[in-house]
């Protein structure tokens, strides 16, 4: 097989076979095929697309380029969830303990944040002492014992995807649905879970800006999952405004704790319960979707989900005393952002709110950047809220950095008018 022939084949619009895709991925991972030829191939894929089978072969070849996690020692059905990334998305922090409190096994490897979207591992590190690295045996033992572990990615999961993603980033080939779907699914298929719910975000704070594109991505990922023998459900959920109110690492832990104590914002609770109900059914712990939702709501209200969160934090070395008053995890320096207008909040550009938190130091511009875990913002208004001129629309938790820029990003991100708008959060379910 010659790579130049395969580039020409894709350029001319023909599908690549399983063997051809494996040849490309193995050759690229081992350094036998150079970046310039893969760049040409990526651009050909960008224009000529890939069908469902090709996308599945690509996901599987990238999965097989590195380590897969073996969860077979843990009895029962193991579940996982994945979000395509949004602003204020702290669902994993709530969902994991909530599901584990109802008997589901939640063995999760999470990532760090990049750009305007945060990462669960950074958020958990804002709890003093919390260890995000566990040996593989300890990870398995902890899930067997308390039903949950949340750790950072270890080992060499899908190295072909890491290399390809870096190349896509500099060759303008990131925005290609088959490449995005196979990239995400290569890592999910390596995660060892039997059932996966994908939370595909749509809106200006998300990767997918339109519902049509989000549906295409969701359908393809579900299909790849099925062809690979996993149970995969995708939900399309809105990222027209940030999820919940708090954005920033310790701030999101704070809001997750409020939610686990039955005092969470409605949008965060709704998305968490919807994903949770699918996974309770997938794990064969419940058979009726509506009953599953009621059970999840009850576990948030009666303290059992929070108890499980404390067990998780303790098991991973976190200092529980520091959680008695989670506001102590936040920067003491605050600045209010005052509204310059009166009326209804009609739109909130989640991307710009995410950027505001990033400018304050909560997010990374590049993978190498360091972040401040105690900074971010608390958005007091959501779409549909009424605001008076001079009223605080957000509290910034700051160090020295980015305060004026964050303020102007927030003021520009929020459109105020005379219409009381309502948005639909859970848009579609794709199985
Ligand atoms: N997230 C991924 O993991 N891969 C992509 O290609 C896009 C988003």
Indicate the SS3 state at residue 4: helix
Q: Quick check: helix, strand or coil at residue 238?
A: strand
| C-alpha–C-alpha distance, residues 391 and 382, integer Å | 14
State whether the beta carbon of 59 lies less than 6 angstroms from ligand 1. no
Sequence-ordered list of residues with C-beta below 8 angstroms from that of 226, at least 6 positions apart, any chain: 232
What is the 3-state secondary structure of 181-221?
Answer: HHHHHHHHHCCCCCEEEEEEEECCCCCECCHHHHHHHHHHH
CA 284, 286, 287, 288: dihedral to nearest 10 degrees? -150
**Ligand 1 midpoint to CA 162 (Å):** 10
The answer to whether residues 54 and 85 touch, using CB atoms and an 8 Å cutoff, is no
**Residue 85 burial (C-beta neighbours within 10 Å; 0-12, 13-18, 19+):** buried
401 within some domain: yes
Residues 184 and 139 in one domain: yes
Smallest CA separation from ligand 1 atom 6, residue: 180
Confidence (pLDDT) at 153:
84
What is the atom index within ligand 1 of the atom nearest the CA of 168? 6
Residues marked as catalytic = 82, 161, 168, 183, 187
Closest ligand 1 atom, residue 179 Cα: 6
Strand partners, 377: 247, 396
Residue 180 Cβ < 6 Å to ligand 1: yes
Euclidean distance between CA atoms 95 and 265, whole angstroms: 14
CB 249 within 8 A of CB 123: yes
d(CA 419, CA 412): 18
* Spatial CA neighbour of 97 closest among 273, 272, 309: 309
**Looking at residue 220, which CATH number applies to its domain?**
3.40.1030.10
Q: Is the CB of 183 under 6 A from ligand 1?
A: yes
Please check whether residue 128 lies inside any domain of the structure. Answer: yes
Cα–Cα distances (Å) from 13 to 39, 221, 313, in that order, read 17, 22, 51
What pLDDT was estimated at residue 426?
Answer: 96
**Pairing between strand 195-202 and 148-152?**
unpaired
Residue 428 lies in a domain: no
> Which residue is it, tokens 């894929």?
45
- Cα(166) to ligand 1 centroid in Å equals 11
Quote the DSSP letter at residue 271: H
- Residues 38 and 182 occupy one common structural domain: no
CATH of the domain at 20: 1.20.970.10
Give the atom of ligand 1 at the shortest distance from the alpha carbon of 184.
Answer: 3
336 CA distance to ligand 1 centroid (A)?
Answer: 35
Atom 3, ligand 1: residue with shortest CA distance: 184
CATH assignment of the domain containing 341: 3.90.1170.30
Does residue 100 contact residue 308 with C-beta atoms inside 8 Å? yes
Give the position, in ligand 1's atom list, of the atom nearest the Cα of 183. 4
Question: What pLDDT is attached to residue 418?
Answer: 97
Within this chain, do residues 320 and 341 fall inside the same structural domain, yes or no? no
Which of 324, 339, 367 finishes a domain? 324
pLDDT in tens, the chain (431 residues): 999 999 999 999 999 999 999 999 999 999 999 999 999 999 999 999 999 999 999 999 999 999 999 999 999 999 999 999 899 999 999 999 999 999 999 999 998 888 878 899 999 999 999 999 999 999 999 999 999 999 998 889 999 999 999 999 999 999 999 999 999 999 999 999 999 999 999 998 888 999 999 999 999 999 999 999 999 999 999 999 999 999 999 999 999 999 999 999 999 999 999 999 999 999 999 999 999 999 999 999 999 999 999 999 999 999 999 999 999 999 999 999 999 999 999 999 999 999 999 999 999 988 888 999 999 999 999 999 999 999 999 999 999 999 999 999 999 999 999 999 999 999 999 99
Structural domains counted in the chain: 3
Max CA separation in the chain (angstroms): 68
Q: Are residues 246 and 367 in the same domain?
A: no
Clarify whether residues 112 and 249 are in a common domain: yes
Atom 1 in ligand 1: residue holding the nearest Cα: 184
The response to whether residue 153 sits with its C-beta less than 6 Å from ligand 1 reads: no
Tell me, what's the pLDDT at 207?
Answer: 85
Residue nearest to atom 2 of ligand 1 (CA): 184
Task: Give pLDDT, residue 2.
Answer: 98
List all residues 6 or more positions away from 175 whose beta carbon is below 8 Å from its beta carbon.
none
DSSP letter at 117 equals: B
**Closest by CA position to 362, among listed 329, 326, 338:** 329
Say whether both 89 and 106 belong to one domain. Answer: yes
**How far, in whole angstroms, is CA 409 from its chain's centroid?**
23
Compute, in angstroms, the gap from residue 44 CA to the centroid of ligand 1: 19
| Single pTM value for the model | 0.96
Q: Are 150 and 96 in contact (CB under 8 A)?
A: yes
- Residue 379 lies inside a defined structural domain of this protein: yes
Residues 347 and 320 in one domain: no
Q: Looking at the structure, do residues 189 and 337 belong to the same domain, yes or no?
A: no
Same domain, 42 and 84: no
Residue 426 lies in a domain: no
Of all helices (H) and strands (E), which one includes residue 336?
strand 334-338
Residue 379 neighbours by CB distance under 10 Å: 28
Judge whether 201 lies within some domain.
yes
Residue closest to 253 by CA, chosen among 195, 191, 206, 313: 313
Domain limit, last residue, from 267, 294, 324: 324
Domain boundary among the residues 274, 293, 324 is at: 324
Q: Side-chain half-sphere of 36: how many Cα atoms within 13 Å?
A: 0
The domain of 30 spans 3-48
Distance of alpha carbon 173 from alpha carbon 182, whole angstroms = 13
| 147 and 296 inside one domain | yes
204 and 137 housed in the same domain: yes
Give the pLDDT confidence score for residue 366 in this predicted structure. 85
Give how far the C-alpha of residue 96 lies from the chain's centroid of Cα atoms, to the nearest Å: 13
Provide the strand spans (E) within 66-104. Answer: 78-83
**H or E element that contains 260:** helix 249-260
Q: Are strands 105-110 and 78-83 parallel, antiparallel or unpaired?
A: parallel
| Atom 5 in ligand 1: residue holding the nearest Cα | 180
- The answer to whether residue 55 is domain-embedded is no
The best mutation among 179, 180, 208 to test binding of ligand 1, ranked by most ligand atoms within 8 Å of the C-beta, falls on 180
Q: Is residue 64 part of a domain?
A: no
Asked if 359 and 313 sit in the same domain, the reply is no
Alpha helical stretches, state H, 30-135: 35-48, 52-63, 91-101, 120-125
d(CA 285, CA 76): 10
Q: Is 331 in the pocket of ligand 1 (CB under 6 A)?
A: no
CA of 274 to the centre of ligand 1 (A): 23
The pair of three-digit structure tokens given for residue 416, joined into one six-digit string:
């105020």
């Amino acid at each position: 097989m010659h790579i130049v022939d395969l580039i020409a084949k894709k350029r001319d619009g023909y599908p690549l076979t399983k063997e051809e895709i494996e040849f490309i991925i193995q050759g690229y991972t081992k350094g036998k095929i150079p970046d310039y030829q893969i760049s040409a191939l990526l651009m050909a894929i960008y224009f000529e697309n890939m069908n469902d089978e090709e996308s599945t072969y690509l996901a599987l070849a990238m999965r097989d380029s590195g380590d897969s996690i073996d969860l077979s020692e843990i009895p029962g059905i193991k579940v996982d969830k994945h979000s395509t990334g949004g602003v204020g998305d702290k669902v994993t922090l709530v969902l994991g303990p909530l599901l584990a409190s109802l008997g589901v096994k939640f063995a999760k490897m999470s990532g760090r944040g990049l750009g305007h979207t945060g990462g669960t591992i950074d958020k958990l590190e804002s709890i003093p002492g919390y260890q995000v690295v566990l040996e593989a045996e300890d990870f398995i033992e902890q899930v067997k014992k308390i039903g949950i572990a949340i750790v950072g990615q270890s080992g060499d999961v899908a190295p072909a995807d890491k290399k390809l993603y870096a190349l896509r980033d500099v060759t303008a080939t990131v925005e290609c649905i088959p490449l995005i779907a196979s990239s995400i699914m290569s890592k999910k298929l390596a995660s060892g879970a039997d059932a996966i719910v994908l939370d595909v975000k749509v809106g200006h704070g998300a990767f997918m800006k339109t519902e049509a594109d989000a549906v295409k991505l969701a359908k393809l990922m579900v299909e790849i999952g099925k062809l690979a023998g996993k149970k995969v459900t995708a939900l399309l959920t809105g990222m027209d405004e940030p999820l919940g109110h708090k954005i920033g690492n310790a701030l999101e832990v704070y809001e997750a704790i409020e939610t686990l104590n039955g005092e969470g914002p409605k949008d965060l609770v709704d998305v968490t319960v919807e994903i949770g109900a699918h996974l309770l059914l997938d794990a064969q712990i419940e058979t009726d979707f509506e009953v599953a939702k009621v059970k999840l709501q009850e576990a948030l209200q009666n303290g059992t989900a929070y108890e499980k969160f404390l067990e998780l934090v303790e098991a991973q070395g976190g200092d529980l005393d520091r959680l008695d008053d989670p506001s102590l995890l936040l920067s003491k320096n605050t600045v209010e952002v005052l509204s310059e207008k009166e009326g209804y909040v009609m739109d909130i550009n989640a991307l710009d709110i995410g950027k505001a938190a990033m400018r304050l130091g909560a997010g990374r511009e590049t993978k190498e950047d360091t972040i401040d875990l105690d900074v971010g913002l608390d958005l007091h208004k959501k779409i549909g809220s009424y605001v008076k001129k001079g009223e605080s629309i957000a509290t910034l938790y700051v160090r020295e950095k980015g305060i004026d820029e964050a303020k102007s990003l927030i003021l520009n991100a929020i459109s105020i008018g005379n219409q009381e708008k309502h948005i639909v959060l859970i848009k579609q379910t794709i199985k």
